[in-house]
Amino acid sequence: MKLHHAVSLLLLLHLWQNTALSISSTFCPPQCQCFSTTTIICSDLLMKALPVNIPTHATALIILASGLKKITAVENLKNLTKLLFLSNPVQNVSHNAFEGLTSLQELEISGSPLLALEAGTFNKLDKLSKLLLNNNKLMLLAPNLFDSLEKLEMLQLHGNMLQSLHKDLFCKLTNLQELNLSSNKLSTVQTSELSKLKTLDLGLNRITSLSLDTFNGNTQLKILSLQGNQINQIKPGIFTHLDNLEELNLRDNKIKVLSSGLFPSYLKKLTLRGNSLLQLSSSAFTSLHNLTYLDLSQNLLPFLPAELFQNLSSLEHLDLSENRLQELASTVFRGLLQINVIDLQKNNLTSLEADLFIDQGKMSLLSLAGNRLENLVYGLLEPLDFECLLQLSGNPWRCDCNLIYFHKWLEYSSNTVTDLSQVYCTEPQSLRGMSLTTVNKEQLVCFERSISETQHTINQATSSDSDRQCSLQEANGNIVVRCKFMKCIELKIDVSFHQEDGSVLNYTLTDPWPGSSQCSNGTIILTV
């Protein structure tokens, strides 16, 4: 048990002290608290051995944060169904420590420096269904340690120092439904160790490869976790016979490639987050008609095949965040009619096709945050439900005429953008840093790109061209008109802005000589 769990239990102990049922000290050991006639918690750093005179009718005994270094025979407690040793300095457990506990259903020894357990330690525990041995220092387990635990359903060995497992260690555990071997130092796993399991967790070990027959005997597996290892390759055929497998967790490994037909067809949840996937075959997920959850985040994918998700008709959650996606085919999400969430944040997307989300009318969350989007193409958001939440911050929005569609869409749907206060203009410079909520439609104008490429001379409308010379150029998002005059005149400039929808905005600019200035030869500058 982790330290914060122990602290929480201590706080609970303190609270219970004020409300505990009053029981005669004759029946409750002085180092313990008897919160009912059946539940006893003992916590005393000076306690070096199990308390004596524990009531024989007790069904739950918890030894918490004591000075106990060795667990010896627990006697005269035949009614005990739960026995927990949490955060004690236990180093040894006698082979006959639990011999008389014929009613015991749950046993936990966690958070201790326990190095080993003798063969026969759990003999005669015929009713035991839960055994938790987490966060100890266990390095090696006897081959027949668990042989007598035929009714065991849960076995947790999380956070130990196991480096290898005997091939017959779990072979008698025919009713085991949950096995947690995470945070150890395993380097390999033998096939026969995993017979008839329903849940297997090999997370946070150091497995680098899996042989083709690793799971041959485990046809009843429902949950398989290989999280946090160093697996760099999944061999074809290793999972295909696991017809009952519903959840497969391959998170935080080193997988680079997925071959076609790798996963069993009944799979519902597949996690590949935090691997090194560089590319995916268009048939990588072809047979997964029952898949509802797919996590491909934190990989290295620069693009996706257009047919990658075409058969995932049950998919509800798709996470593609934190990859290197630069573009998406317009049909990549076609047919995903049940999808609720698509997460595309923190990629390199610069544009999206107008019909990209045409089949996603049921979507409740779409994240496009943290990409390189400057605008949204006309019609992109129309297929989405009016209650679909959007995340759009962290993009370099260019607030010109190409953003008019999105700006108009916000007039009616701004409440669905969860991070709208963080959606800013980055261009042009005159609008940089402004929130889209404060930008007016009239400010969303486009200038000809050729202006910024070279300086152009303006054609003069009168015959007296020699009296003035004008030119224009774009500077920092502004159009600058420079005119040099040989005599005093009033300057008038007509400007037409051609917008994306075909309409034209006309402006007339005038700039007479300042009244306070004496008319003379010189230069005048107008900024549009």
Please tell me the least confidently modeled range out of 78-87, 285-294, 448-457, 459-468. Answer: 448-457
Query: Pairing relation of β-strands 82-86 and 92-93?
Result: unpaired
Percent of the chain whose pLDDT exceeds 70? 72
Q: What's the mean pLDDT in 373-388?
A: 93
- pTM higher than 0.85 for the full model? no
Task: Give the residue-averaged pLDDT of 456-464.
Answer: 44
Do 121 and 144 meet the contact criterion of CB atoms below 8 Å apart? no
Task: Please say whether the beta carbons of 487 and 467 come within 8 A.
Answer: yes
Above pLDDT 90, what percent of the chain?
48
Mean pLDDT of 130-142: 91
pLDDT of amino acid 168: 76
Per-residue confidence (pLDDT) for residue 180, from 0 to 100: 75
DSSP 8-state class, residue 366: E
Position 498 pLDDT exceeds 80: no
At residue 28, the pLDDT reads 85
pLDDT in tens, 221-244: 787 877 777 778 888 888 887 788
Which pLDDT band, with edges at 50, 70 and 90, does 266 fall under? very high
Mean pLDDT over 482-502 rounds to 62
- Can you give the pLDDT at residue 36? 81
Residue of higher predicted confidence among 325 and 475: 325
Q: Which two tokens stand for residue 234?
A: 């999944």
pLDDT of residue 359: 94
Alpha carbons 195 and 221: distance in angstroms, whole number: 9
Token pair recorded at residue 448: 């000809």
For the chain, how far is it from start to end, CA to CA, in angstroms? 68
14-18, 101-105, 167-171, 220-224, range with the lowest pLDDT = 14-18
Left if phi > 0, otherwise alpha if psi is -120 to 50, otherwise beta: which for 11?
Answer: alpha
pLDDT in tens, 329-356: 999 999 999 999 999 999 999 999 999 9
Q: What is the pLDDT of residues 401-458, one digit of tens each?
A: 999 999 999 888 889 999 998 999 999 999 999 998 899 988 999 865 444 443 444 5
Cβ atoms of residues 235 and 262 within 8 Å: no
**To the nearest whole number, what is the mean pLDDT of the chain?**
80
User: Would you state the pLDDT for residue 245?
Assistant: 86
Instruction: Answer whether residue 264 shows pLDDT above 50.
Output: yes
- For every residue of 146-183, DSSP letters joined together read TTT-TT--EEE-TTS------TTTTTT-TT--EEE--S
Numbers of helices and strands, H then E, in the chain: 3, 27
pLDDT band for position 317 (cuts 50, 70, 90):
very high
**SS3 assignment, position 236:** coil
SS3 10: helix
DSSP letter string, 399-456: -SGGGHHHHHHHHHHGGGBTTGGG-BEEESGGGTT-BTTT--GGG-----THHHHS-E
Dump pLDDT digits (tens) for 141-170: 888 998 999 888 888 888 888 766 677 777
The span from the CA of 343 to the CA of 295, in Å, is 9
Decide if 47 contacts 71 (C-beta within 8 A).
Answer: no
Give tens-digit pLDDT for 82-102.
Answer: 999 999 999 999 999 999 899
Separation between Cα atoms, residue 144 and residue 148, nearest integer Å: 8
Residue 362 vs residue 238, higher pLDDT = 362
Give residue 241's pLDDT.
78
Alpha helix stretches (DSSP H) within 20-116: none
- pLDDT on residue 189: 44
More confident residue, 489 or 50: 50
Residue 232: the pLDDT is: 84
